[in-house]
Structure 1
Amino acid sequence: MSTPAAGAGRVVVVTGGTRGIGLGLAHALLARGCKVVICGRSDAAVTKALAELDGDVTGLATDVTDRAAVQALWDHAVATFGRVDVWINNAGISAARGPFAEVPEATVADVLRTNVLGAYNGSAVAQAAMAGQPGGGWIWNMEGFGSRGEHQPGMEPYGASKRAVSHLTEALVRETKGTPVKVGFLSPGIVATDLLVGDYDGRPDEFEKVKKIFNILGDRVETVTPWLADGVLAATKHGARVAWLTKPKAMGRFMTAAFRKRDIFADTPTPAAAGAR
């Protein structure tokens, strides 16, 4: 476990930092001595999250699909803390699972805009500004299901968005080579959040079927995010990947599953029944 000295006053922006993995990262980074800036979709969400966080932290309601709003988030961070050392594009949404042709166009557009355009805007704003500040900085983009070509029925919008984020991150790694800006990939694996559970809204029976696998391979936010924070703060190599659920770890989990009883969803609301939303 890192000590507060690990962060040493580094300024970190976490988009989507008001809930789930983003909020967990904010907690972990503050515990490691960082100064943290979070954003969420609304003033209410940001205010609620700030009340839960302890340390040098500020926040701003930000629409990550709007480049000007993302620039305003950068400006807020610099006005508050003087610079930004690390920018984590964590903001993301998913969609309730459903047959390919039945997912509403507006839902697909929402997922793609938030996950892909949001990461693109954050990367573009951070790259441009970090290139001109002393010491440069780090940009991290969040991987997820689909990043490496995984397929599963009902996951098309989210999987496509994460595949696209991986592509743009790989492109950014190449473009920033030899510059003061470094880029990395963050891969949290399967984490018990309302985002994951929300994929099964309207299909609680289906959730019960996959819950066993999630309990073998998945983890809770408070388990994964301190480890991710340590990886972000320790990284030195451009193009680094900080991945929690590796193939050897997954194989080990399956081999020992019969001897380990786990419920990572103990405090997480169950999926809504059909028509309940």
Structure 2
Amino acid sequence: MAAKEGEMTKRIVITGSTRGIGNGLAREFLKRRCQVAVSGRSADQVEEVVAELGQYYGESKVCGAACDVTDPEQLQGLWDRTAEAFGGVDVWINNAGIGIGRQPLWEQHDGDLAALVNTNLTGALLASKTAISNMVRQGHGQVWNTEGFGSDGATQPGMAAYGATKRAVRYLQEALRKDTADTPVQVCTVSPGIVVTDLLTGDYDLTSEQWEKSKKIFNILGDHVHTVTPWLADHILAADKSGTRVVWLTRRKALARFMTASFRKRDLFTPKS
């Protein structure tokens, strides 16, 4: 859906947008004539993506900055870079996140657990703080946090740590809505569902029986980035009030897919020739 003639476009920051869902969203927003700031931990990757997107959508439409979301100074640097390029930030999407191997908690490495919590939870806290504090001074803006498995309280073996970080994000959103009630800042939530990315497959041993079982479910409920992100982008741009939740894989949609799975075969993991 392209922007209508004369319609005000939005200036959007997306953390973790050099690949995966974040990158897909960046492309969709640019198609809709928005200005987009790309970010990721690797300066080289950010530079490469900004150059590519600038070639297709116009250099004035894209900027970027390397940003580790666990570092407050780098988060402020991302805001400053975007404000310098576009004059401000209308929408800030906390998309950056990492996974962890699906194992019982006691078998997971301490360093991996610390990195998971630092990125998925501490990163969401610090990035939300950065965005909201700047938006309050600016006089407007929306902050979006990204839900994932565990946000709704669902549990699975091997998902204790990851699910706990995403359950915490749900609480964070509800609390931030109350904190920002008397401010010009809106707090919203995006739930992409099950999307085939490195984050999804990276949690598994792809030679294991566990993966074969999980893959059957993913082929029923999952989708590719290019399927999900156009719909997400349209609904994010249409949101105009705090508390908005943009949810791709609703319970009704999941139920319908299970009911039709026997005669609607899907294979999301075999590359098409």
1:12 corresponds in structure 2 to: 12
SS in 2 for 1:93: coil
1:255 corresponds in structure 2 to: 259
> 2 CA distance for matches of 1:161 and 1:262?
30
1:140 corresponds in structure 2 to: 144
Q: TM-score, normalised by structure 1?
A: 0.92
Query: Size of the alignment, in residue pairs?
Result: 266
In structure 1, give the amino acid aligned to 2:199: L
Contact 1:8–1:33 (Cα < 8 Å) also in 2: no
Which residue, 221, 227, 238 being the options, matches 1:223? 227
SS in 1 for 2:143: strand
1:154 corresponds in structure 2 to: 158
SS in 1 for 2:12: strand
1:183 corresponds in structure 2 to: 187
1:74 corresponds in structure 2 to: 79
Q: TM-score, normalised by structure 2?
A: 0.93
2:25 corresponds in structure 1 to: 25
Deviations 1:29-48 (A, max 9, x none): 10111100011011122123
SS in 1 for 2:211: helix
Quick check: 1:3 aligned with 2:28?
Answer: no
Deviations 1:88-139 (A, max 9, x none): 00000001111220101100000000011111111101101111214x0100
> 2 CA distance for matches of 1:153 and 1:44?
37
SS in 1 for 2:138: coil
2:115 corresponds in structure 1 to: 110
> 2 CA distance for matches of 1:204 and 1:236?
45
CA distance 1:159–1:110, shift in 2 (3 Å): same
In structure 2, give the amino acid aligned to 1:50: V
> 2 CA distance for matches of 1:145 and 1:15?
19
Percent of aligned pairs sharing the same letter: 53
Gaps of 5+ in 2: none
Gaps of 5+ in 1: 269-277
SS in 2 for 1:118: helix
In structure 2, give the amino acid aligned to 1:3: A
SS in 1 for 2:13: strand
In structure 1, give the amino acid aligned to 2:78: L
In structure 1, give the amino acid aligned to 2:31: A
> 1 CA distance for matches of 2:141 and 2:44?
30
> 1 CA distance for matches of 2:223 and 2:206?
23
> 2 CA distance for matches of 1:267 and 1:71?
39
Contact 1:8–1:32 (Cα < 8 Å) also in 2: no
- Give the alignment's Cα RMSD to 1 decimal: 1.5
> 2 CA distance for matches of 1:86 and 1:127?
10
